[in-house]
Amino acid sequence: MRVARDEANGVWLVWGASAVEKHTIEQVTNTMKQGERLKYMGRRKLGEFSILSLEYGCTEKGSCFQRECLPECSQRKKLTIAGTTTKDKNEVNGLRDICYFGGGLVFVGKKQMGGSKTAMILSGKRCSICGQYVSSWLACHWGICDTCAAKCEHEFVEGAVIGGEAPYHGTYCKKCGRAHSAFIKTQTGTSLEQVQAAAS
């Protein structure tokens, strides 16, 4: 599948490269309504790239009149997202991070592309403060967009910082989750007290 990220709007466009994929995308865009979630069912790795397994149609509690949708539910449909080109595959890796840190994907809508192709518009989630869709895994993890994080009255604490390749021990804001180092790049060796003084 072809995958492109629209960072300004916090979304990805995903459209079919083959006839089968185009049909699959049509099914999703004809079934899903704006705001419905696609449930992350895991990934398969092919070298450094991920192939995503998702489910939609009846993954929200109660939509098939069950307390929790059952695996045999007839409304439940599978969707596999695999990139076509290397660029697409890199974007799919980004989508996987969103699934992992944001808990699945949200269906935003559809867009007509050239050549009678339909793209599904996907995002991680909406910012809990301003409602803007976010497409970075850090923003998804904390549910706060970069714009709102920049306006946050940070309360820095020490602990496991989510950022970079793996969590590390450091200083981060307990409200927006951003690492202290992301804001005060020019200062090195700043103590927690200095950071808190600078933030207040």
State the residues that interact with Zn ion by CB under 5 A.
58, 64, 69, 73, 75, 127, 129-130, 132, 145, 148, 152, 154, 173, 175-176
Residue nearest to Zn ion (CB): 64
Q: Return the structure tokens found at 88.
A: 């697409």
Taking the least distance from each CB to Zn ion, the nearer of 1 and 173 is: 173
**Smallest gap, in angstroms, from Cβ of residue 123 to Zn ion?**
13
Helix (H) or strand (E) holding 158: strand 156-161
Q: Where are the beta strands (DSSP E) in 26-100?
A: 37-46, 49-56, 77-81
Taking the least distance from each CB to Zn ion, the nearer of 130 and 160 is: 130
**Smallest gap, in angstroms, from Cβ of residue 180 to Zn ion?**
10
**Smallest gap, in angstroms, from Cβ of residue 145 to Zn ion?**
3
Helix (H) or strand (E) holding 30: helix 19-31
Q: Which residue has the tokens 């009678």?
A: 116
**Smallest gap, in angstroms, from Cβ of residue 128 to Zn ion?**
8
Give the residues across from 81 on adjacent strands: 52
